[in-house]
Structure 1
Amino acid sequence: MNLLPNSTLSKSYLHKEIYEKIKQDIISGKLREQTRLASIRKHAEFLAVSTTPVEMAYRQLIAEGFIESRPRSGFFVVKLSDMYRNLDMTQVVQGPDSSLPTLQAQKPEYIYDFHMSKIDFTYFPVQEWKRLLNQVFNPESVDILFYGDPQGEPGLRKEITNYLYQFRGVNCKTDNIVIGAEQHLLIHILGQILKDHSDCLAVENPAYPLVYNTFQTTGYQIYPMPMDAGGLDPTALKASHARIVSISPSHQFPVGTVMPVSRRLELLEWAKEVDGFIIEDDYGGEFRYQDKPVPSLQGLLPNDNVIYLGGFSQVLAPDICIHYMVLPDKLVPLYHQYRRKVMMEGSSSRIHQNTLELFMKNGSFERHIRRMRNVYRKKNRELLTAIQQHFNNKAIVIGASAGLHVILQIHSHWSEEDLTAIARKEGIRVSPATGFYLDETPGQKQFIVGFGGIKLNCINEGIGLLHHIWTPMLQ
């Protein structure tokens, strides 16, 4: 048995360290079932400690079912469930005040990670953000730790208003903007304040499930709408009798369709005729590589029927936890009525909000977006070149003009799940697109290949290996 060496023991945590070490050895299999442990006295003598911490450790192990005490025989390791066998004990996290190991669930490692949502943090302006953070959070401003405006900090809402008008063509006032830590929370609020207006939601098919699943849990009926080359089909929408529709016109998820102006105007006319609402999720609107960014649907015409959703997860960092929605004037009073009813406080950190306000006000945010647009443009071109080079006519790329992923469509009798698993075994992460369809799925196999988080020099290697391992399954 591998006992703890004397040099590693901390006086404050003797029994915890002994307990953790023995538990680690049991879970990892070093101490097998029915193995007899050293007696308390012998264990204490070996570690040059008193018997008290060893006895306390043994008691804890008995209480948790790792060992058992047999009269006149000693202490023995008991059989564990398979759940413990699946835990990875090789990684140890050291805290600042303790050397105690922490269990971590085993996670797959990918050499070529084409995750659809990851972004490149290499160029995040850490020093600038820290400088502004220190400016916001100082001993004289400790009141910032209390709740702020539940609608979002006024200064940040003003900066978002200016940014949206200048870069996305959104027309709104600061009073129209509601800030939240999670998009899910904002959509949930939206579902609550629209309940009296309609009990059903029309959505693109395929679509990102966050919007429609949140509405569904709020009690809405979901109507999947077919797509064509221009996006959601207006004819099907009119036939559905829905009065609320969710779309992503700037870069449809996951297909990547950019909705033409004629289709956008048709949907705006529909909303006016039925007194309905369009939820515009501006996914990937900032990152367009072949032409200039497409202006938002919300700003096309003077209209009071479009709800605009946006956030800073893709353009800055997810952990900042700042999302927002732009409400039409007619919905603002309903939002405040609901907010007061549930006594809702602000969900997004005031510290991050104020830091982001300064970051936007001094021009750093605009510079960061320009920089990242160039970074992602290079990765986008590298990915398209690699797919053409390796797959040639064995694959079709869909939705390559914007966003942080493309759809790779191939012909194969193998299922998307099997092909994904084969890629995973070789250290490649791609995601099947099937899960984003609400009913019928396309006959061909489609995979979401993200390029935001992977290093530029790994893209060609990863696509080359993916083609190599998939070649026997391609038609």
Structure 2
Amino acid sequence: MMRLPKLDEQGSLPIYVQLSDHIKREIFQGALVEHSRLPSVRKLAELLGISTTPVEVAYQQLIAEGYVYSQPRIGYRVRAVVEGYHGIQLSKSDTRMTEQDKGDYYASKTNKQATMDSQNALPNLQRLRPITSVTYNFHMSHNDFSLFPYVKWQQYINRVWREESKDLLFYGDPQGEWGLRAEIADYLGQFRGVRCTPEQIVIGAEQHLLMSLLTQTMLRKGSVRSIAVENPGYRLLPGTFRNYGYEVIPISLDHEGMNLDELDLAHVALAGVSPSHQFPMGMTMPISRRLALLDWAERSEAYLIEDDYDGEFRYSGRPIPSMQGLRENAPVIYMGGFSQVLAPAFCLHYMVLPKELLPHFTEVYRAVLFEQSASRLHQRTLELFMRDGELGKHIRKMRNLYKRKHDLTVQAIQQHFFDYPGMEIRGEHAGFHLVLRLESQNPAKEMVAAALEAGIQLASVEYLWANASAPADGKREFIIGFAGIEPENIEPGIAGLADIWRA
């Protein structure tokens, strides 16, 4: 039986946040057990003397994070949580994340532009064709720069250059500028629930370089040369580790993320996952699966690589807290960056290493003597930009813009593909792309080519499947990116796509 919370209507946290945090504590403390039924929205609102809106929002947030499920005629019930976690403390993000609503910060996203180049997403035949015009660009990694704070950014650049030009001309800290690492650590602690210090953060110009340093760090540690990866999944991770001699084992996905039964049988030392918004399929990993993955890592003496490429960009409720912060000293390597929310050209990415890996990282540095790859000017500029709260203002604007585009895209697909055989939309409510699944006798690459000939660019999920595998149900899957396209082009672009594929 759930104990009623004491809500503070004058407090800094919104009522729905106080309520959702209270229910989480009830679950972790064992007051609410698996399949316990929660009061209806209307009933709980009456008991608490509040409107139904904050109760509904709190329940939806709990569903998104995997604490609660809902079924017709059954109502809201508690999902199973891995045993041994009763009494766990909520991460900082669970109590402070909503500072975004007051305009402090909102998000960072690792841009996948480097290896998700539009040519790679197209079949070889298309690369031989001259692409003269793309009217409707649904590419997954395009940015929207319409709201970029050009004047403000230039002011910070001028300030940094004026005050520090001589120092900036020399090599910086190989691990990244200390001030920016301190800002990143503070940001991640407040808004992603990541537990780290500046010493654990490594800044780099792009993800491949950081992953290369990670592979060398793991080799110095003496770990088994094997890694499990999501299938389908982001190709940079397995590609980098494979180039360093690792055996790469693809693990299939179920509706909650990486399949634990397959992972147990893989006997690997590492596993790469994207729990907040799986790439490319878009599911959010529930809390029970995240805790089970942490159990697996500790039991197997393995590490998890958490790719939080767009975890902050949710369009309903709050962002889902990171997996890394669910437990003190979790065996998780956390990857993030600023390319999507600012610009890829700034080349600012980072990883957070567990403390026990820092000596091995230092060994790599002493053996190679590498230098910092990210511009010191951009690092110092971003540091001041974050410190003065400008990043939060910009990201909040971008979140609102992307939410509008997300909603327009979903509406257009529902309108123009409603009668298409087997149509499904996956990965909505977060990130910068959707996955459109359809039944078709035509090969996916031919469908992509036909769309391109009509001036509509998009990608198939096909090239992200390992070992030429494909969905078990035989459906065609397409990545519909909405971040870079103009809002007024979304509906006609989707309409044109539906017409072409029907023909």
What's the TM-score once normalised by structure 1's chain length? 0.76
After superposition, residues 351-366 of structure 1 pair within 5 angstroms as 351-366=377-392
The structure 2 residue matched to 1:415, chosen from 443, 448, 453, is 443
- Matching residue of 1:61: none
Question: For residues 119-139 of structure 1, what are the alpha-carbon distances to aligned partners after superposition, in whole Å with 9 as ceiling and x for unaligned?
Answer: 111001111100000001127
Distance 2:450 2:187 in 1: 44
Distance 2:358 2:377 in 1: 25
Distance 2:375 2:131 in 1: 30
- Matching residue of 1:156: 180
Give the deviation of 1:169 after TM superposition. Answer: 0.6
- Matching residue of 2:320: 294
After superposition, residues 56-455 of structure 1 pair within 5 angstroms as 107-138=131-162, 141-195=165-219, 196-394=222-420, 395-439=423-467, 440-442=469-471, 443-455=474-486
Distance 1:344 1:304 in 2: 28
Give the deviation of 1:304 after TM superposition. Answer: 3.6
Counterpart amino acid of residue 410 in structure 1: L
Counterpart amino acid of residue 238 in structure 2: Y
- Matching residue of 2:498: 467
SS in 2 for 1:393: coil
Question: For residues 302-359 of structure 1, what are the alpha-carbon distances to aligned partners after superposition, in whole Å with 9 as ceiling and x for unaligned?
Answer: 1341000000111211110000000000001111110111011110000000000001
Distance 2:382 2:362 in 1: 24
Give the deviation of 1:107 after TM superposition. Answer: 5.0
Give the deviation of 1:141 after TM superposition. Answer: 2.3
Distance 2:483 2:206 in 1: 21
Distance 2:163 2:254 in 1: 57
Distance 1:329 1:348 in 2: 23
Counterpart amino acid of residue 456 in structure 1: P
Distance 2:169 2:336 in 1: 25
Give the deviation of 1:140 after TM superposition. Answer: 5.5
Distance 1:215 1:345 in 2: 21
C-alpha contact (below 8 Å) 1:304/1:330 kept by paired residues = no
Counterpart amino acid of residue 278 in structure 2: Q
Distance 2:439 2:380 in 1: 50
Q: How big is the alpha-carbon RMSD for the aligned residues of Structure 1 and Structure 2?
A: 1.2
C-alpha contact (below 8 Å) 1:405/1:449 kept by paired residues = yes
Higher normalized contact order (CA 8 Å, seq sep 6+, divided by chain length): 2
Give the deviation of 1:109 after TM superposition. Answer: 2.6
Counterpart amino acid of residue 281 in structure 2: V
C-alpha contact (below 8 Å) 2:311/2:319 kept by paired residues = yes
Quick one: structure 1 residues 140 and 445, their matched pair in 2 at CA, closer, same or farther if it must change by over 3 Å? closer
Question: For residues 190-242 of structure 1, what are the alpha-carbon distances to aligned partners after superposition, in whole Å with 9 as ceiling and x for unaligned?
Answer: 01111211200000100010011000001100000011011001111111111
Counterpart amino acid of residue 139 in structure 2: H
C-alpha contact (below 8 Å) 1:272/1:305 kept by paired residues = yes
- Matching residue of 2:47: none
C-alpha contact (below 8 Å) 1:408/1:447 kept by paired residues = yes
Distance 2:370 2:347 in 1: 17
Residue ranges of structure 2 left out of the alignment (5+ in a row): 1-128
C-alpha contact (below 8 Å) 2:277/2:310 kept by paired residues = yes
Give the deviation of 1:291 after TM superposition. Answer: 2.2
C-alpha contact (below 8 Å) 2:332/2:353 kept by paired residues = yes
Query: In the comparison of the two structures, how many residue pairs are matched?
Result: 368
SS in 1 for 2:466: coil
Counterpart amino acid of residue 213 in structure 1: G
Distance 2:443 2:462 in 1: 10
Question: For residues 17-71 of structure 1, what are the alpha-carbon distances to aligned partners after superposition, in whole Å with 9 as ceiling and x for unaligned?
Answer: xxxxxxxxxxxxxxxxxxxxxxxxxxxxxxxxxxxxxxxxxxxxxxxxxxxxxxx
Identity %: 47
C-alpha contact (below 8 Å) 2:338/2:348 kept by paired residues = yes
Distance 2:190 2:392 in 1: 11
Give the deviation of 1:142 after TM superposition. Answer: 2.3
SS in 1 for 2:271: strand
C-alpha contact (below 8 Å) 1:161/1:172 kept by paired residues = yes
Distance 1:348 1:188 in 2: 15
Distance 2:392 2:425 in 1: 30
- Flag the structure with larger Rg: 1
Distance 2:429 2:269 in 1: 31
SS in 2 for 1:226: strand
Residue ranges of structure 1 left out of the alignment (5+ in a row): 1-104
What's the TM-score once normalised by structure 2's chain length? 0.72
C-alpha contact (below 8 Å) 1:304/1:329 kept by paired residues = no
Distance 1:388 1:241 in 2: 42
C-alpha contact (below 8 Å) 1:252/1:283 kept by paired residues = no
Distance 1:164 1:139 in 2: 28
Distance 1:146 1:428 in 2: 46
